[in-house]
Amino acid sequence: MCVILELLNVSHVSKVYGNKVLYKALDNVSLSIEQGDFVGIMGASGSGKTTLLNAISTIDPPTSGEVLINGENPYQIDSANLALFRRRKIGFVFQDFNLIDTLTVGENIILPLTLDGEKVSVMNKKLKAVAKSLDIEEILGKRSFEISGGQAQRSAVARAIIHSPLLLLADEPTGNLDSKSAKDVMELFESVNRETDVTTVMVTHDAQSASFCNRIVLIKDGRIFNEIHRGNSRKEFYQQIIDVLSLLGGDAK
């Protein structure tokens, strides 16, 4: 018997911004994501994608509703332990890479382990392994301004997965890359997802990048509008994504 574990559960989440003028950016969003899935979140600019990702990533609490990560509600954890929870259970990849330019690529990658007080020998072993699997061994001694955008994002992915998180979150990870580097980075996400089984949730505007996911959730005006699943062919999925985006309207590319 195959048991499917639910890694992430977003239940009736709403988010209202503002004090005097209120704006409902998320309106009763419910979403369940299985362990090991690779899910893309798409929608027009301003539809609430980043707000949803921030609620999932424990950065910004929802106004109402519940987020459960591996059965645990992060918003019920006190702030000191929440920082620890975030550092140990979640990996983040950002559009602008967020590498610290005073550190080498290698030092950037081991940062989550350094912050956790890991032993140097363990850090070096993990760094070696992740750099090998992501094919960035040759740039470990370089600084972020000495490498290409694609290499910077590979390094950021390495940093996001070195501590074997439960959940890998990415906000427009290919937004600053040319199409060749974007494809390389998405192939990397796909293989990391397949090989490590890390549940991955990515916000993207880009249909090509989205076609590497297994499932796409579309958001419109803060609500879930539709979702589509990938079959065997990435090319067909890409076309399906384009079609559904055209139904969605707005400026979703």
How many residues can be counted in the chain? 253
48 binds ligand ATP (CB under 6 A): yes
Residues near ligand ATP (CB under 6 A), total: 12
47 binds ligand ATP (CB under 6 A): yes
Distance CA 242, CA 223 (A): 19
Contact assessment for residue 17 and residue 23, using Cβ atoms and an 8 Å cutoff: yes
Query: Within positions 9 to 28, which residues make up the interface with ligand ATP, using CB under 6 A?
Result: 17-18, 23, 25
Based on CB atoms, which residue is closest to ligand ATP, 46 or 65?
46
In this structure, which amino acid lies at residue 210?
A
Contact assessment for residue 82 and residue 57, using Cβ atoms and an 8 Å cutoff: no
Kindly tell me the burial class for residue 99, based on how many C-beta atoms sit within 10 Å of its own C-beta (0-12, 13-18, 19 or more).
buried
Based on CB atoms, which residue is closest to ligand ATP, 51 or 57?
51
Binding segment toward ligand ATP, per CB under 6 A, in 49-57, 90-98, 178-186, 193-201:
49-57
Return the structure tokens found at 72: 């645990």
Q: To the nearest whole angstrom, how small is the minimum distance from the Cβ of residue 68 to ligand ATP?
A: 21
* Helix axes of 120-133 and 149-161: crossing angle, nearest 10 degrees: 130
Kindly tell me the burial class for residue 142, based on how many C-beta atoms sit within 10 Å of its own C-beta (0-12, 13-18, 19 or more).
middle
Q: To the nearest whole angstrom, how small is the minimum distance from the Cβ of residue 50 to ligand ATP?
A: 3
Binding segment toward ligand ATP, per CB under 6 A, in 38-46, 62-70, 82-90, 231-239:
38-46
57 binds ligand ATP (CB under 6 A): no
49 binds ligand ATP (CB under 6 A): yes
DSSP state of 201: E
50 binds ligand ATP (CB under 6 A): yes
Residues that bind ligand ATP (CB under 6 A): 17-18, 23, 25, 43, 45-51
